[in-house]
Amino acid sequence: MSVKECKAESIISLRNVSKFFQGKTVIDDVNLDIYCGETFVIMGCSGSGKSTLLRLMTGAIRPDKGSVALKGRDIAKISSEELDEVRKTFGMTFQYSALLDSLNVEENIALPLREHTQLAEEIIKIIIKMKLSLVGLRGYEEYYPSQISGGMRKRVGLARAIALDPEIVFYDEPTSGLDPVVGGVIDKLIKDLSVKLMITSVVVTHDMHSVFEIADRISMIHKGKVVEVGTPEDIRNSKNEYIRQFINGSPSGPIDFFREDIGMEDVLDL
Ligand SMILES: Nc1ncnc2c1ncn2[C@@H]1O[C@H](COP(=O)(O)OP(=O)(O)OP(=O)(O)O)[C@@H](O)[C@H]1O
Ligand SMILES: [Mg+2]
């Protein structure tokens, strides 16, 4: 499939999706299409529902209302076996690296390969070397997560996410907790992998530098609703007050600073 044909195809489609937790609306009537081959960024404040949206897209949780279609198939209507098959074509990096501390780098990356394939150990070792090279960590096979830096752990998570040659990779806060230079390295890696491996990337972040560095399209969510979707240029020039406040990091604006999820009353000792 050529890149052009690929772009025209919606690989993930959310229609009127809502999700409630303990009576609270966390995702509120969301409509989104993610196209094959693009890098789609979801930005928004802490607690706005970004990780939940990602979990809905990966089929980790099901919507309470509306439909989520993965590659044209409604996840509510397919069997769990079929969903597992679809999910094998995804890679995922988690908000808190989620490497197993008791396993070394090689064993961490081997997990999906051992779980989902019948490949011989020698082949698995070769694949791991290739993936580590792609993230610039060749030679780190024997290291344990506690022996490498946060940025390196994120890269190992990335190598694990691409172990099964996925069509789509979901990244939850890939640069959080990293200094701007290391964050920039991760951004470049995400972009390079998308292009080299023709991966569709869905990236959740509130790192404004990353947003504009990597996105083909950006959506901002606030309180579980999509505020706007557009190209980086559209978002930079947006007149929407939520977007302006978010990208400028301003305390004044329509985004409620005294949000219960960050307990600002306590922080400011009011
Ligand atoms: N399993 C759950 N049970 C109950 N509430 C949940 C659950 N998962 C998420 N929530 C709530 O949903 C809201 C959105 O959470 P979510 O993790 O999606 O936010 P986020 O945008 O990823 O935030 P952050 O930037 O801090 O990671 C929060 O108020 C959270 O407490
Ligand atoms: Mg989150």
- pLDDT > 80? residue 180: yes
- pLDDT > 80? residue 241: yes
pLDDT of 87 reads: 83
3-89+207-267 — its CATH code? 3.40.50.300
172 Cα: distance to centroid of ligand 2 (angstroms): 7
Percent pLDDT > 70 in the chain is: 91
- Which of 51, 94, 207, 222 is the best mutation target for the ligand 1 pocket, counting ligand atoms within 8 Å of the beta carbon and taking the most? 51
| Mean pLDDT value across residues 53-65 | 93
Tens-digit pLDDT profile for residues 120-142: 999 999 999 999 998 889 999 99
CB burial readout 238-250, b (16+ within 10 A) else e: beeebbebbbeee
Residue with tokens 């993936």: 131
Backbone angles phi, psi at 94, to 5 degrees: -100, 160
User: Who surrounds ion ligand 2 at CB < 5 A?
Assistant: 51
| Mean pLDDT value across residues 51-67 | 93
pLDDT of 7 reads: 59
- pLDDT > 90? residue 235: yes
| Domain residue spans of the chain | 3-89+207-267
pLDDT of 1 reads: 46
Ligand that lies nearest to the alpha carbon of residue 259, given by its number in the listed order: 1
The model's pTM:
0.89
129 Cα: distance to centroid of ligand 2 (angstroms): 30
- pLDDT > 60? residue 82: yes
DSSP string, 74-143: ETTTS-HHHHHHHHTTEEEE-TT----TTS-HHHHHHHHHHHH----HHHHHHHHHHHHHHTT-TT-TT-
5 Cα: distance to centroid of ligand 1 (angstroms): 35
CB contact set of 49 (below 8 Å; sequence gap of 6+): 19, 26, 27, 221, 223, 224
Are 17 and 65 in contact by the 8 Å Cβ rule? The answer is: yes
Alpha carbon 160 to its chain's center: 14
Ligand that lies nearest to the alpha carbon of residue 206, given by its number in the listed order: 1
| Mean pLDDT value across residues 51-66 | 93
- pLDDT > 60? residue 11: yes
Atom 11 (ligand 1): residue with closest C-alpha? Answer: 26
pLDDT bracket for residue 176 (50, 70, 90): confident
- pLDDT > 80? residue 2: no
Tens-digit pLDDT profile for residues 191-215: 988 888 889 999 999 888 889 989 9
- pLDDT > 60? residue 256: yes
Are 76 and 67 in contact by the 8 Å Cβ rule? The answer is: yes
119 Cα: distance to centroid of ligand 2 (angstroms): 34
40-54, 141-155, 173-187: least confidently modelled range: 173-187
pLDDT of 263 reads: 46
Q: Ligand 1: does its nearest atom lie under 6 Å from the Cβ of 260?
A: no
- pLDDT > 90? residue 182: no
47 Cα: distance to centroid of ligand 2 (angstroms): 7
